[in-house]
Structure 1
Amino acid sequence: MDKRRTLAMKRLPPNFPIIWRGEVGYEQARVGRVFNYRRPSRYPIAVVEATTEDDIVEAVGLANEIGCRVSVRSGGHSWAVWSTGILRASPSNTGRLTNKLLGAYGRMFPGGHCPEVALGGFLLQGGMGWNCKNWGWACERVLGVDVVTADGRKLHCDKDENTDLYWAARGAGPGFPAIVTRFYLQTIPAFSRMRSSAYIYEKKDYRKAMEWILRVAPIYDESTEIVAVASYPAGLSDVHVMVLLVTFKNSAEEALAALQPAEDTAPPGCVQRWFCRETSLAKEYDDQHAANPMSYRYCTDNCYVKNDADVVSVLEDAFTSLPSRKSFSLWYSMAPGSRRSVEAGTMQDMALSMQTDHYFATYSIWEDEADDAKCRDWVANIFKRVERHSEGSYLGDADFQVRRTRFWQDEQGKKLMRIRKEWDPHGRIAGYLDVGDKSGAEGLENVHEWEPK
C-alpha cells in the first residue's frame, strides 16, 4: 500500500469520502461532471467528494501532511478540465438550479448562460453572465465568500474582512489561493416578459450583418443582450450567421419597444428571422444546452478584440469556416458596460480587469477522437491570425496549456500573484496548470504569446 495512503488512513476520520486511485469508482470520481469528453491524462492519487466544510478542512490538512497539491472542481464546463435579497450558495450550484430556486421568490441571478455551469469556477473567473454588457459582471454581485485556506483555516472574506482574498475571489479563476465553500450573492428582480428576436444570414452576407450589429449594439436598450453566432443551423447545409437579441422586461409593450429598433434596421436578405418571440430563462437554458451538447469533445479559445480593430475583418475567417457541424463562433457585445467600468474605475476593486467592447470566442465541437487534430488545429490557426488584434482573454474559455495571453491589466495581474504567494506560498492549491505546471506558486505570466518572456 502507498505510504501516503497508509498515513492518510491513520489520520482521517471513519467514512471520510475519499476514493483512491485504483479503487472502484475512481474513474467516475476523476471525471464525473467534467463536461468536455476530450479527457486529460491527469490522475490524482485520490478524489475527495466533499459535502461539508469540515471535509475540505480535512482534505487540505491531509494534502499538507503528505505533500500533495489540491485541485478543486465544482462542476461545469471547464473546457481545459482544470480540476476543475442575498443568496448564500454553494460553488457546486448550477445556474439553472440557482434560478429555479430563486424564481419562487421573484428573484434571479445573472449566472452562466449554459445550464450546467456551476457557480464556483464561473464566479472566480469573473462571470460573463446574462446581459453582462449592461448589468455588469456576475462577480460584481459577490458580496462575500467563505473559504478554507491552504493551511486549513476557515475564513470569511468581504469588503471589511480578509479584503485581499475578497479582491482576488472576483477574477482570479483557478489560481485563487484558497477553496471557496460559500458565495454570498446579490440577486436581482426576475423578469416576467422575456422576448427574443433573431436574424439569420447566409455566410456571404456576414459582413453586412456584422457591420449592422456592431453599429447599433453600443447604443441599444439596456435590458437587451446581443450576440452574433456563426453555426450550422438545423436544416441548413452551410454556415450561417445569426444575430440574436434577448430582452428582459416586465411587460409585452416594453419588450416590443426594446426590440423594434433592430427590426427596423436589420439588413435585408435574412434566410430566417423571428421578431419579439416569447421566451423565458428556462427556454434560453434549453437552447444553450442544445448548442453545447454533453458527451462531445471540445476545444475552445477566446479573446477581447481591441476597440480600434477592424472587428469585421478580424473575425471573418472564424465566422465563415467551421471545422464541424456542431462547432460555432460568437461575438458578444460588451459595450456600453465595458466603457462605463473603465471610466468609473470599478474594475480596480477586483482582480477582474481585462475587457473591451468586443468579446470573441470559438468552440470546436466534435464526436470522433480521429478528428482531434483537425478540430484543434482549426482553433489554433484562427487564433494565430486573431490574437495580435486582442487585448487579452477571458479565463473561462481559455487553456493555459495551449496559448499564453493576458488575463488581467498589468497592475491587477501583479497584485494577484502577490496575494497568491502570501496566502499559499508553497502552491498547495493547484492553480494555473500551464504546460508542465511550470507556474506553480509563482502564478501565470500575464503576457501575450508573441511577447518576450
Structure 2
Amino acid sequence: MPLSIVWRDSTDPDSYEEARTRRLFNRDIPKRYPIAVVYAGRESDIVDAVKLAIEKGCRVSVLSGGHSFPAWSIRDDAILLDLGNYTDMAFDQETGIVSASPSTTGHALNEFLIVKNRMFQVGHCPEVGIGGFLLAGGMGWNCNNWGWSSEQIVAIDAVTASGNLIQANAQQNSDLLWAAKGAGPGFPGIVTRFHLQTRPAPKVMRSSRYVYAMKDYTAAFSWILQVPFTDEDGVEAIVVGSYPSGMEEPCLTIALVGFGEDENTVEEGLQKAEKARPPGSLTHSVCTKTNLGELLESKAKAYPQGYRYCVDNAFLKNGANVVSVLELAFTTLPTKTSQVFWTGMKPCSRRQLPDMALSLQSDHFFALYAIWSHEGDDSNCKSWAGNVMKTIDTHSVGAYVGEFDFQVRRSKVWGNEQAKTLTEIQRRWDPDSRICGCLGLEDLGDADLMASKSK
C-alpha cells in the first residue's frame, strides 16, 4: 500500500495545518512547517518514510505521543512521521517482557498489563506516549525506589537513518540500545518497538495527601524533606504548588504513594509522615487504597488539554536548601492552572547509574509548568518561567532532557563522557543527520556544548 502523505505544497492549507498540529498537546503551536506529514500505520511505512526522505534530500522528524512541550517533532522542511496510527502490543508470559510501539500511551500499556497482574513504570501522565518518555530516560512511577524506566528496556526494534530495520539488544547493536536509554531526541534512528521487562503488579498501593495554605510553605515543605523514608517503605513523595480544585488561593499539596507487597509495611512507611506532620492542614487523607489507574486519572486532571504550556526543570544539588531555593517558584504562580512540583529521588539517586545515555540525577528534582489559555498571556507566563529558572540555575547540576527546551536556555542534560559517546554513536549511525535531533542544539558533534552547564 502507498504511504499516506499530506504534502505542504499540494494540499489545501486547512488540511495541511490539521495534519501538522492535530496531535500536539501544547497548544502554543510553533511556526515551523514540515515539507510533508506521513501517517505510519505499520512498521514498513516507517522504513518507506525514511527512504522517501533520502530520495527528497530532507530530514525526518518523529511524533509518537505528541507531548513534547517544545514540539520537537515539528521541524521546518522535514518529513514529519506521525506514529499515532501505528499501534502494536504483545506480552510474553514466559519472560514477562512486553513489546509495544512508541505511540502506546501509559494508560493503554497499564490497561494491557494489569489484567495479566503485571506492571511497567509508565509516566505519571496517562496520555504520554512511551516513545519520547523512554528515550528521555523515563521518570516513571516510584522512580526513586525502582529506578528509571529506561533501565527496563531489554531491546528495541528501530529503523536506521539509512532505512534499514534492525534490532538492538545486549548482543547486537548494543550502542543503539545504550542511546535508547536517555538520548532523548538525540537518538539517531526511529524506534518502532520497545521490548520492556515488566514486574509483578504491587499487591498493595496506598496514598496519603495533605493540603496546606501557602502561609505554611516552610513548615510543610521542611516536614516532608525530613521524613526518613527508606527503600523498604517504597514511598514516592511529591510536593506540588498549585490552585487545587475549589481553592481561591495557591496551596502546597504533599502527595505520597506507597508501593509494596505487604499492607503493614506500606502503611508503616506512610505513617512515618503522618506522625510528624505539622498542624494546620486544610485537608488530609492517610493510607487510602489506590491503584495505578486511579493515580493516572488524577494526574490527567493536573495537566489539562487545550492549553498553552511553558515547561522547565532542574536537578538540584544534593546539599541545596530546597525550601529556600524553590520558594519563589511555589509562591508566585502566574495563573490558576499553572503548577510546580518537587519530588525526592532518594534512595536511587545515591546509587551508581547503569552504563547508559541517561547520566544525570540528584536527590531533588524540580519542574515548573506555566499553563494558560490565551496568547496574550504568553509573555507573562514565559517570563515567569525564565525568572524562576534563573534563581534556581546556580543550585542545579543539570536538567532532565525529557522536559527541557534547548531553544530557551543551556543546561547539562548528560554527563560529559556520555555526551561524547552519544556524539560518536550519532556520527556512526546517522552521518548525514537525516534524523532530526535536539531542537535548538542542532550540532550534536559539539560534545562540549551538549554537556555544557548554563551560566
Counterpart residue number, 1:60: 50
| C-alpha separation in 2, matches of 1:103 and 1:217 | 31
What SS does the aligned partner of 1:110 have?
A: coil
| C-alpha separation in 2, matches of 1:101 and 1:332 | 28
Structure 2 residue 454 is the aligned partner of structure 1 residue 449: yes
> Are the equivalent residues in 2 in contact too, given 1:37–1:298 (CA < 8 A)?
yes
Counterpart residue number, 1:427: 433
Amino acid in the other structure paired with 2:134: L
What SS does the aligned partner of 1:433 have?
A: coil
Counterpart among 397, 409, 417 of residue 403 in structure 1: 409
| C-alpha separation in 1, matches of 2:404 and 2:144 | 20
What SS does the aligned partner of 1:219 have?
A: coil
Counterpart among 193, 199, 213 of residue 204 in structure 2: 193
Deviation at residue 210 of structure 1 after TM alignment: 1.5
Amino acid in the other structure paired with 1:439: D
Counterpart among 403, 413, 419 of residue 413 in structure 1: 419
| C-alpha separation in 2, matches of 1:382 and 1:284 | 28
> Are the equivalent residues in 1 in contact too, given 2:229–2:269 (CA < 8 A)?
no
Deviation at residue 358 of structure 1 after TM alignment: 0.2
Deviation at residue 192 of structure 1 after TM alignment: 4.0
- Structure 1-normalised TM-score? 0.92
Structure 2 residue 95 is the aligned partner of structure 1 residue 104: no
Deviations 1:371-406 (A, max 9, x none): 010001000000111011100000111111001100
Equivalent pairs: percent with the same residue?
49
Counterpart residue number, 2:84: none
Structure 2 residue 307 is the aligned partner of structure 1 residue 296: yes
Deviation at residue 28 of structure 1 after TM alignment: 2.4
What SS does the aligned partner of 1:72 have?
A: strand
| C-alpha separation in 2, matches of 1:166 and 1:282 | 30
> Are the equivalent residues in 1 in contact too, given 2:414–2:450 (CA < 8 A)?
no
> Are the equivalent residues in 2 in contact too, given 1:197–1:259 (CA < 8 A)?
yes
Counterpart residue number, 2:73: 83
Deviations 1:155-186 (A, max 9, x none): 11011101111111100001100000010000
| C-alpha separation in 1, matches of 2:167 and 2:107 | 26
Deviation at residue 362 of structure 1 after TM alignment: 0.5
Deviations 1:92-148 (A, max 9, x none): 100000010001110011010000111100000000000000000000000010111
Counterpart residue number, 2:7: 20
Structure 2 residue 359 is the aligned partner of structure 1 residue 353: yes
What SS does the aligned partner of 1:384 have?
A: helix
Counterpart residue number, 1:439: 443
Counterpart residue number, 2:378: 372
Amino acid in the other structure paired with 2:27: Y
Structure 2 residue 224 is the aligned partner of structure 1 residue 213: yes
Q: How many pairs align?
A: 430
> Are the equivalent residues in 2 in contact too, given 1:297–1:367 (CA < 8 A)?
yes
Q: What are the equivalent positions in structure 2 for 1:31-430 lying under 5 Å apart?
A: 31-83=21-73, 85-216=96-227, 219=230, 221-250=232-261, 252-340=263-351, 342=352, 346-347=353-354, 349-430=355-436
Deviation at residue 255 of structure 1 after TM alignment: 3.5
Amino acid in the other structure paired with 2:24: V
What SS does the aligned partner of 1:411 have?
A: helix
What SS does the aligned partner of 1:361 have?
A: strand
Deviation at residue 249 of structure 1 after TM alignment: 3.2
| C-alpha separation in 1, matches of 2:421 and 2:259 | 37
What SS does the aligned partner of 2:450 have?
A: coil
Amino acid in the other structure paired with 1:367: S
What SS does the aligned partner of 1:205 have?
A: helix
Deviation at residue 221 of structure 1 after TM alignment: 4.4
> Are the equivalent residues in 1 in contact too, given 2:234–2:266 (CA < 8 A)?
no
> Are the equivalent residues in 2 in contact too, given 1:353–1:409 (CA < 8 A)?
yes
> Are the equivalent residues in 2 in contact too, given 1:427–1:440 (CA < 8 A)?
no
> Are the equivalent residues in 2 in contact too, given 1:426–1:441 (CA < 8 A)?
no
Deviation at residue 200 of structure 1 after TM alignment: 1.3
* Structure 1 stretches lacking a partner, 5+ long: 1-13
Counterpart residue number, 2:80: none
Amino acid in the other structure paired with 2:126: P
Deviation at residue 278 of structure 1 after TM alignment: 2.0
What SS does the aligned partner of 1:51 have?
A: coil
> Are the equivalent residues in 1 in contact too, given 2:229–2:235 (CA < 8 A)?
no
Deviation at residue 429 of structure 1 after TM alignment: 0.3
| C-alpha separation in 2, matches of 1:217 and 1:176 | 38
| C-alpha separation in 2, matches of 1:56 and 1:401 | 28
Deviation at residue 251 of structure 1 after TM alignment: 5.1
Amino acid in the other structure paired with 2:453: H
Deviates more, 1:33-42 or 1:22-31: 22-31
Counterpart residue number, 1:5: none
CA RMSD of aligned residues (A): 1.5
| C-alpha separation in 2, matches of 1:220 and 1:355 | 17
What SS does the aligned partner of 2:370 have?
A: strand
The 3 A distance-change label for structure 1 pair 280 and 76 is farther
Amino acid in the other structure paired with 1:386: I
> Are the equivalent residues in 1 in contact too, given 2:399–2:412 (CA < 8 A)?
yes
| C-alpha separation in 1, matches of 2:446 and 2:439 | 12
What SS does the aligned partner of 1:283 have?
A: helix
Q: Going by fraction, where is helix more abundant, 1 or 2?
A: 1
Counterpart residue number, 2:82: none
Deviation at residue 320 of structure 1 after TM alignment: 1.1
Amino acid in the other structure paired with 1:148: V
Deviation at residue 442 of structure 1 after TM alignment: 5.0
What SS does the aligned partner of 2:61 have?
A: coil
| C-alpha separation in 2, matches of 1:140 and 1:252 | 27
